[in-house]
Structure 1
Amino acid sequence: MRTLGILFLLFITTTSVFAQQKQWTLRECVQYALDNNISIRQSELDVEATDIEKMTAIGAFIPTVNASSNISENTGLSFNPVTNNAQTTTFLSSSGRINLGYTLFDGLQNFRNIQRAELSQLASQYRLSKMKDDISLFVANGYLQVLLNKANLDAIQTQNAVTLEQIIRTNQLVEGGQLPRGDLLEIQATDATEKQRIAVAENAVQISLISLAQLLLIKDYENFDIVDEGYELVQNEVALKTADEIIESAKQNRSEVKIAEKNVELALKDLQIAKGGYYPTVSAFFGYDTRFTNASSFTQVIDPNNPFSTQQVGVVEETGQTVVGQFPNTISQLLQPDPFFNQLYQNDGIAYGLQVNIPILNGFQTKANVRRNKINVQRSEFQLEQAKLDLESNVYQAYLDAEGSKKAYEAAEKSYESQELAYQYAKDRYDVGRTNAFDFSQSKLRYDNARIELNRSKYDYIFKVKVLELYFGIPATELKF
């Protein structure tokens, strides 16, 4: 058992270390951002809110049913809720009611509210899609920035390794009297400069990693790292298309235009809903109610001991004969309340009918609401036109940026090749003592700068092409690097 426990602890420790040392690929970073980014979560909540809006609009077609009840105890002079007679006593009473209502016509506002909710759903989904594209682009940019900084660090470290070899060789030549000590000092100064550049480059790598981790909401900065997969330039069909083709595809696929289009449709639907306020509203209603009380009551009954009495009712004028009649003798009798369920059945009642509300004058509220929505329609139409213009401008700018970065990369590549040949030539001359350390250091510095510029232009071009692909309509999760 003790051995098993030790093995288990070793397994947990190894797994924990492995998890901490995990290196992230670009696709993993993008997917993690899409799953955890706060802005995306907020946009997803907006989509859920539109689902509730649609549910509410559908609910307007369902009859409203409400039930109510009350119970009370009365003491003193009160009216019996069943007999409606005033009596001085203490009794318990209760009542219940069920009301049902249904809107038959409201100027088609209910139908248009459902249509508006569906449009609102589409608009929020487009906003979510745009948010995902933006976040994916931010992550890709941050990721490529880390790669650029790592590539620059590697270039400086590689060249510094060469410098260290040159220090050893130069020191041997100086001790042998073949080179002056000034050359050794020059190479050592170059090494110090490169060490400083290495420190700056390492700091740039750490800062870019922290920035990427913060974008991903990862708090373990110390163990966060990415995989250097050696991204190369990937020529695809988007990079070969013209600006007009990319602009036309962007207008059909990009969320910016779709959001503006849905906003226009929403404004038009709001205008229709506002105009519905001019029409009468017809609704039907049905109500059922009943009541109960435990109060006793009195009733008049015939006296069983003396059921009738004879009383004079008049006199015959001609004869003076008295006219008499028999009348029932009544006495008051106490009645106990009927059972609960009997009273519910005996005291119930229903009410039903139609109700029509005709708007005549409401302080110009409906008219003002219609005019306000007309203005919103015009404003949203202007925003749609502006969105199209902005998209066209942004796509064209991205196209020019991609073309410019491509030319810059090609120029940097040629410059790097030239500086590499020049550096190799200077190195060969320095190795045989035909050039001094200063000239060799300057050639090496130009070669280092050319390599760094090649890295910068390479990743800049990769990023600019990815921007074009997004504008062309390729989903962020399907971008190829």
Structure 2
Amino acid sequence: MKKLINNTILLGLFFVGCLGFSQQKQWTLKECVTYALEQNISVQQSLLDQDLAIIDENQAKANFLPNFNANGSFGINTGANINPATNQFENSTFQSASGGLSSGINIFSGLQNWKTLQRAQLNKIANTYQLEKMKDDISIFVANSFLSILANKERLKVLVAQNKVTKENIENTSKLLESGVLPKGDLLEIKATDATQLQQIILAENTLFISKLGLAQALQIEDYENFDIVDVDYNLIPETILENSPKTIAERAREEVNDVKIASQNLKIAQKDLELAKTGYFPTLSGFISYNTRWSSAQINPFTGEEINFIDQLYLFDGTSVGLRLNVPIFNQFTTRNQVKRSKLNVERLKLQEKQVVLDLESTVYQAYNDAKNSKKAYDAAIQVEEARKLAFNYAQERYNVGVSNAFDLSQSRAQYDTALSDVIRTKYDFIFSLKVLEFYFGIPITN
């Protein structure tokens, strides 16, 4: 019994450990993007739009098939009514029924069915591009949020490390104060610096939590407290994308970015709508075949004086009709002409829109390239400033330790060094994101 209890306790601890491990999962950028695409409501709605586009395509294919219908009726007639069997007026009460089958097929309507199918296929492709664009936008948003968390983490680590040095200075200054080497004001100054740094740490922790919260909500993860991402080391940043000219990247972007594909596809759909509108000028030709029969309780056999039975009447009064139906449009209140005019204007509008999308994309790529170049310069400059501020702070620390400098000068040097460290972190992640954007325009997945 004791062994069973021990095993149960161990098993319970195992499950608790597993639960704790699952709660402490750290997400990679690829996992975040993949999960966001799976959970995003807009993506799910676009998938439904794709299903609707497939249904429209299937319906367009089905329009080539003939239709087939059945009809039937039953009635009780009183007073003067036409007997459906004799087609004569009879002033009596009788029952009657009729039924039939019919089928029709469109032979020619200006290739309307064929153009409708082509339009449905174009629309299905356009929905695919819309879905891919939405995925790209979500991926970029998640990547930006991911990098923001990394930047906030790095900033927090720097603040904690700097505060650790400050606490060591407080301890050393307290000893020097007791020995009479330094005045009490120096200790108070360093304690004030410590309090300021603690405030900065609290603010940095809050900023980090908010950035995690934002990404967790984008992923629709409710366990905000335990959500975290993998700490990725971006000290070595590949800059190969900058080896390409902005013109080369823009040309590649026209092939890769879905905005241009969507604009081009919408233009094709509008051109197909124009072709469909023009089919209204053509005559339509359709074929039909029908079979009908009828029955009446008032139908009497003239030789026997008895009512003709139901089955015999169905055979006696049946008939088949086969033929063609031609419809020639002559005047329909200028409906077709105005629809054609609207379609032409829509085509011209979408041609201009496609040109504008290409121009906007080129402008965006050149701006992104310029931002990446400037981010690189800002990052390199921030590193140089950080190195210089670090040397200055170390020198100020040495001067303070030997009593040549006071705590105020040390605090000023430390503040400048902290600012330099913050600038390095900010410019580094600005540079990383600008490179990610350029790679995206070049067709490289954002998760690479």
Where on the TM-score scale, by shorter chain, does this alignment land: which range?
Answer: over 0.9
Query: Residue 447 of structure 1 aligns with which residue?
Result: 417
Alpha-carbon spacing, 1:289–1:5, altered in 2? closer, same or farther (3 Å) = farther
Matched, 1:126 2:129: yes
Name whichever of 92-101 and 370-379 sits farther off: 92-101
- Offset from partner CA, 1:263-290 (integer Å, 9 cap, x none): 2211111111111111101111111122
- Describe the SS at the equivalent of 2:241: coil
Match of residue 181, structure 2, among 175, 178, 182: 178
Asked if the contact 2:97–2:294 (Cα under 8 Å) also holds between the matched residues in 1, the reply is yes
The CA distance in 2 between the partners of 1:40 and 1:164, in whole Å, is 51
* Structure 2 counterpart of 1:432, one-letter code: V
- Residue 300 and residue 261 in structure 1: after superposition, are their counterparts in 2 closer, same or farther (change >3 A)? closer
Paired residue for 2:306?
335
Query: Contact (CA 8 Å) 2:95, 2:298: kept in 1 or not?
Result: no
Q: CA deviation at 1:291?
A: 2.8
Q: Cα distance, 1:366 vs. partner?
A: 0.7
Cα-Cα RMSD: 2.1
Verify: 1:113 aligned to 2:84, yes or no.
Answer: no
The Cα of 1:355 is off from its aligned counterpart by 0.6
Q: Counterparts of 1:300 and 1:91 in 2: how far apart (Å)?
A: 17
Matches within 5 A, 1:210-359: 210-293=213-296, 295=297, 297-301=299-303, 333-340=304-311, 342-359=312-329
Cα distance in 1 between the residues matched to 2:313 and 2:275: 51
What is aligned with 1:49? Answer: 52
What does residue 323 of structure 1 align with?
A: none
TM alignment of 1:41-120, pairs within 5 A: 41-75=44-78, 78-84=81-87, 91-120=94-123
Q: Is the 8 A contact 1:264 1:381 kept in 2?
A: yes
Higher helix share: 2
The Cα of 1:147 is off from its aligned counterpart by 1.0
* Inter-partner Cα distance in structure 2 for 1:353 and 1:127: 46
Q: 2:331 aligns with which of 358, 361, 365?
A: 361
Paired position in structure 2 for 1:17: 20
Amino acid at match of 2:367: Q
Report the residue type matching 1:384 in the other structure. Answer: E
2:232 is the counterpart of 1:196: no
Q: Is 1:431–2:434 an aligned residue pair? A: no
Q: Which residue is equivalent to 1:312?
A: none
Q: Which moved more, 1:203-212 or 1:94-103?
A: 94-103
For structure 2, the residue ranges without an aligned partner over 5 or more in a row are none
CA displacement 1:96-132 (0-9 Å, x = unmatched):
2222111111111211111111211222211211111
1:142–1:208 contact (8 Å) kept in structure 2: yes
1:153 aligns to what? 156
Q: With structure 2 as the length reference, what TM-score do the two structures score? A: 0.93
Does the Cα contact within 8 Å between 2:301 and 2:307 map onto a contact in 1?
Answer: no
Q: TM-score, normalised by structure 1?
A: 0.87
What is the one-letter code of the residue matched to 1:468? L
Q: Distance in 2 between matches of 1:196 and 1:237?
A: 40
CA drift of 1:83 comes to: 4.0
Task: Among all aligned residue pairs of Structure 1 and Structure 2, give the percentage whose two residues are the same amino acid.
Answer: 49
Q: Structure 2 CA distance, aligned partners of 1:69 and 1:224?
A: 66
Structure 1 372/85 Cα, relative in aligned 2: closer, same or farther at 3 Å? closer
Counterpart position of 2:370: 400
2:139 is the alignment partner of 1:169: no
| CA distance in structure 2 between the aligned counterparts of 1:195 and 1:404, rounded to whole angstroms | 33
Letter in 1 for 2:389: Q
Larger Rg: 1 or 2?
1
Give the paired residue count.
445
